[in-house]
Chains A and B, each alone.
Chain A
Amino acid sequence: MSLKNTLYAATALSLVGAFGAVAETITIATVNNGDMIRMQGYTDKFTAATGIDVEWVTLEENVLRQRVTTDITTKGGQFDIMTIGMYETPIWGANGWLVALDDLSAEYNAADILPAMAGGLSHDGTLYAAPFYGESSMIMYRTDLMEKAGLEMPKSPTWDFIRQAAAAMTDRDAEINGICLRGKAGWGEGGAFITAMSNSFGAQWFDMDWGATFDQEPWKNTLTFFKGMMDESGPAGYATNGFNENLSLFQQGKCGMWIDATVAASFVTNPDDSTVADKVGFALAPNTGMGKNSNWLWAWALAVPAGTQKEAEAKQFIEWATSTDYIDLVAASEGWANVPPGARTSLYENPEYQKVPFAQMTLDSILSADPNDSTVNESPYVGVQFAAIPEFAGIATEVSQEFSAAYAGQQTIEEALAKAQALTNDAMEAAGYR
């Protein structure tokens, strides 16, 4: 080999080495749940296709919220992609903390994102986070127990029917509770459930002047109905039960009905974990005939914090992870029941996915929740089970603690509502809304 050729070879090797040295790594903060963990397992395919390495920081939901909020408000720059929800996205988008996702590729087909999801993840019509999966809430019920009780579940039942059915299905000797619902304190736990339920009773968090409305009749009706029904037919200690506790009870055959996140449908129908997998039916969350069902709307979505040095790579990952190709990849490996649901219209038009027993009810539930029109009377806020204002999480956590104390019998419903009214108005005044 001549000297010239040797130099060429050395130069080529150097270029290859340099290329390898600048291969980008993006850091993603995400929440610990089944769909997100599954995505992590497929990251190698993204890296193989793009040469972009991915570092995952997986945290519990509440820890993640605190962690990413601290980082984005201080411009810490620790993450190139953050997993956030419908509550944070419009607020952070309005503050200019997120990169607008308005230049996604034509192949990505952003118009395919379910309108309810796109609306909840936008500010002023601009998308700031791409939904990885979306959910609403619905009724999951035991078909065998319903039949035994001599009742038939309507597609869209009333709360009165649910209470009657719960009482009929309850069998304390057999350890069967007619209904299992969240009572646990926390704005994302029992707080989310009771807020969505209150919408169907004509209640709302704030009037048009941002005043609390807990002193009004619809809230008293909501809490009185909830506590009455749960005392009659709910499990012992329901005031401290959240999603996981109720999932556990339902999977062990100890709940006649469970109203909770639509993503739970895949858990309760999975024969590996659920003893009642082949006896589960689905229906829309209940109403009172006032025009609103008691279901919520939520999405875990991927967003790019403003200021990241790797915006192009981050967007590339988001396009990959929230694409129809990713859904096809999961379906091919793990079956259609395990694909991330609730994000894309085309998924629900897919004949294969339509065979999944809970697919249509999930879509119907998502479509029946409107974050911009969630209450019977006019309200000043966006959001179904939350009000998309920065102060809400703190206020709602305290309010839900008062409600849980009432469920547990530590105070009356009237006392809990009076405290909720006072603390909410105090916080809103301190924040300058009133």
Chain B
Amino acid sequence: MARSVTTQRKAINTAIAWAIGLLIFFPILWTILTSFKTEGQAIASPPIFLNFDWTLENYAIVQERSNYMRFLWNSVIIAGGSTLLGIVIAVPAAWSMAFVPGKWTKDILLWMLSTKMLPAVGVLYPIYLLFVRMGILDSRVGLVIIMMLINLPIIVWMLYTYFKEIPSEILEAARMDGATLKDEIIHVLTPMAIPGIASTVLLNFILAWNEAFWTLNLTSVNAAPLTAFIASYSSPEGLFYAKLSAASTMAIAPILILGWFSQKQLVSGLTFGAVK
């Protein structure tokens, strides 16, 4: 009896999980389906789900009108570069906060997080002027720096949380064996925190990939990433829904595939230390 209840409960839980999963995935599915419709079918009322003449015309138009590979390459450089630079800076910062906490460590952590609460538009003009003066407007270098700075608080917080789960005795033992600070961080701490670092890298890569305020406002031609690619197909006056959906599908495809293959690391990292 008990086993049957458990099986029934499992089935219900599975069904609920699938329902929630499909609900969350539905907008993406709808975008993908719309990308294969004509503009007329895309706005049909009632909406057409699957029963339409599938076409690749929107993808052909998008390919003809935009240099997709240039946008994609910029996205890869900006998201990858900012994440790696952020990790390089955040690992020592998180190490010091986790293993050598000072009187103000918690205040500093909270202050770092509070910078995320500032509306980005509030600092647009100062940042824009700085970029103009430094000559890094519409450059990948500029975008890598700004994206790294934006995501740094999250990277430090995540790494700090993971590092706190590592017993400090292990690091002390390494020091007893003569490890320098550099050895301690690179050869002892980092390998032990790999799941946490991996999930931090993945999450921040996704955040940087999807960021659409700074990437739209600080780029024009040379450094414009996929967010600018999508924005060029949105219009309040004229029907571009099917083409916009095709552009969106092309923009999210790489990150969707990356997320699919790395979901195991992502989940294990995010739940790292959750169960003691």
Contact = CB atoms under 8 A, between A and B. Distances in A.
Interface stretch (B154-162, B236-244, B268-276): B236-244
A261 B124 contact: no
Contact of B236 (A58, A78, A243, A251): A243
Contacts of A263: 237
B231 interface: yes
Interface residues of B, number: 29
Interface in B107-128: 124-125, 128
Interface string B122-157: 001100110010000110000000000000000000
B44 interface: yes
**Interface SS of B by simple majority:** loop
Given A27-B220, A78-B220, A243 B237 contact: yes
B168 interface: no
B232 interface: yes
B124 A70 contact: yes
A37 B221 contact: no
Contacts of A78: 137-138, 220
A66 B239 contact: no
A244 interface: yes
Given A66-B217, A76-B128, A60 B234 contact: yes
B68 interface: no
A61 B44 CA distance: 24
A190 to B, nearest CB: 11
A62 B236 contact: yes
**Interface SS of A by simple majority:** mixed
B65 interface: yes
A66 B213 CA distance: 11
A79 interface: yes
Interface in A60-83: 60-63, 66-67, 70-71, 73-79
7 contacts: A60-B231, A60-B234, A73-B125, A74-B129, A243-B236, A248-B45, A251-B40
Interface of A: 27, 29, 31-34, 37, 40, 55, 57-63, 66-67, 70-71, 73-79, 188-189, 242-244, 247-249, 251-252, 254, 261, 263, 267, 272-273
Interface of B: 39-40, 43-45, 65, 124-125, 128-129, 132, 137-138, 216-217, 220-221, 224, 228, 231-240
